[in-house]
Amino acid sequence: MSTTQTTTSVKEFIAERLPEYQELALTIHDHPEVSNYEFFSSEALIKQLEKEGFTVEKEVAGHRTGFDARYASGKPGPTLVFLAEFDALPGIGHACGHNLFGTYSVLAASAVKEWTNEFGGEIRVYGTPGEEGGENGSAKGSFVREGFFEDVDAALCVHPAYRYGKTTESLANDPVDIKFYGVASHAAGAPEKGINALEALIQVFNGINGLRLHLPKDVNIHGIITDGGVAANVIPEYAAGRFYLRAANRETLDEVSQKVENIVKGAALSTGTSYEFGLFQNAVDDVVVTPAFDELFFEHLQELGIPDEEIETQQRTSLGSSDVGNVSQVIPTIQPTVSISDTYIAGHSTEFKAAARSEKGLASIAIAAELLAKTALDLLQQPETLTTIKKEHQEQLAKKKEQGSSF
């Protein structure tokens, strides 16, 4: 069958299914759930995948709301994964549009899967909880650690946004808790008998502020005190803080994390406290961009005749972090964006939440799914294209590692 016939068939499939997937996106939007509690959203996507003919395994990679859906042709060919996110933000709900994100991937995977019977290969959808972080958050790190990408050739997903754009570079992130344990005592009557855990934590903040002068420009450290004592006249026997440590690449961040832990050790030694230092969820790696992969996606975007003003032409770099970076460290990965608003909307805002269920937001499901599906079909039909993308990914990964210089 010709390429034109194939893409026409995919487009017809998506158009036929679109109302069903729009209803799915609205239903998930109406049931916002945070990391490790996305029971409704996960099950809704699983039911849809099973309806489309996928075999689904639940509660995978140590995540009770994670899933692994597969359709195998039994014929040699690439294994492609569509990543599905579905968690919401605490309080505000789906203000990052993950109600759309998951439906994009499920519809695209469903549109492509039958073509593996002709071209060969396997299509998967990984349901990855907690991209926004939180309890057992950033699940893609778990999927990588547990080997779910070892036999995968490439990963694809699309994020809703203000404009269409290519995969965004973002920072590696170590989300850490710092806890100090001391001895309580009356602050006025017997201060000499106390060991002040809060004093140790304050020294950590001061130590980090002193460290900032000697850090690369891409490093960003920010934190809060989550527990600082119970009464002003009682020396705190326990104090805790939560920090995000970020850097442009994993190699630099590993060094930063070690320096911060050394500050914690010093604070404990100087105050006589004991301490705990460690991740409170999965670490997040920086995104490795593979330009050839994005260009493949954008070739299909240009075919749609999207107005120029809706397309971001510059390569973007985010000062935030996403666990899609963990996947991009091991296989070629794209996460371009599609527009869900004609006016600017900031992520994690009430405006973004509204756009995620707007007419344009719901229309974006067909656009994102078509672009993802056509890109995946290219990889199934053109082995040489996939080989080129894999080679470039390795080159980009090596370049990233070289940038992580010691300091």
Which residue in 158, 237, 230 sits closest to 196, CA to CA?
237
DSSP reduced 3-state for 258: helix
C-beta separation of 201 from 225 below 8 A: yes
Q: Where are the alpha helices (DSSP H) in 30-114?
A: 39-51, 98-113
Residue extents of the structural domains in the chain: 10-169+285-405, 172-279
Give pTM, 2 decimals: 0.94
Partners of 277 in the β-ladder: 178
* Burial (0-12, 13-18, 19+ Cβ within 10 Å), 385: middle
CA 407 to chain CA mean position, Å: 28
What mean pLDDT is predicted for residues 136-164? Answer: 98
What mean pLDDT is predicted for residues 241-256? Answer: 96
Residue 4 pLDDT: 67
C-beta separation of 55 from 69 below 8 A: yes
Structure tokens at 311: 């397309």
Is residue 300 very low, low, confident or very high in pLDDT (cuts 50, 70, 90)?
A: very high
Residue 63 pLDDT: 98
Q: Which amino acid is at 289?
A: V
When the candidates are 3.40.309.10, 3.30.70.360, 3.40.640.10, 3.90.1150.10, the CATH number that belongs to 172-279 is 3.30.70.360
What mean pLDDT is predicted for residues 104-112? Answer: 98
Is residue 8 very low, low, confident or very high in pLDDT (cuts 50, 70, 90)?
A: confident
Buried b / exposed e along 267-297 (16+ C-beta atoms within 10 A): bbeebebebebeeebbbbbbbbbbeebbebb
What percent of the chain clears pLDDT 90, i.e. is strictly above it? 93
> What is the third-level CATH fold of 10-169+285-405?
Aminopeptidase (3.40.630)
Model confidence at 406: pLDDT above 60: no
Model confidence at 2: pLDDT above 60: no
Residue 243 pLDDT: 98
Q: pLDDT, tens digit, for every residue of 310-348?
A: 999 777 888 899 999 999 999 999 999 999 999 999 999
Residue 330 pLDDT: 98
Which residues, including other chains, have CB under 8 Å from residue 289's CB and lie 6 or more apart? 166, 167, 169, 315, 328, 396
Q: pLDDT, tens digit, for every residue of 377-386?
A: 999 999 999 9
Which residues, including other chains, have CB under 8 Å from residue 246's CB and lie 6 or more apart? 171, 172, 173, 174, 219, 220, 221, 253, 319, 321
What mean pLDDT is predicted for residues 56-63? Answer: 98
Radius of gyration of the chain (CA): 23
CA distance 26 to 93: 12
Which residues, including other chains, have CB under 8 Å from residue 186's CB and lie 6 or more apart? 194, 233, 234, 235
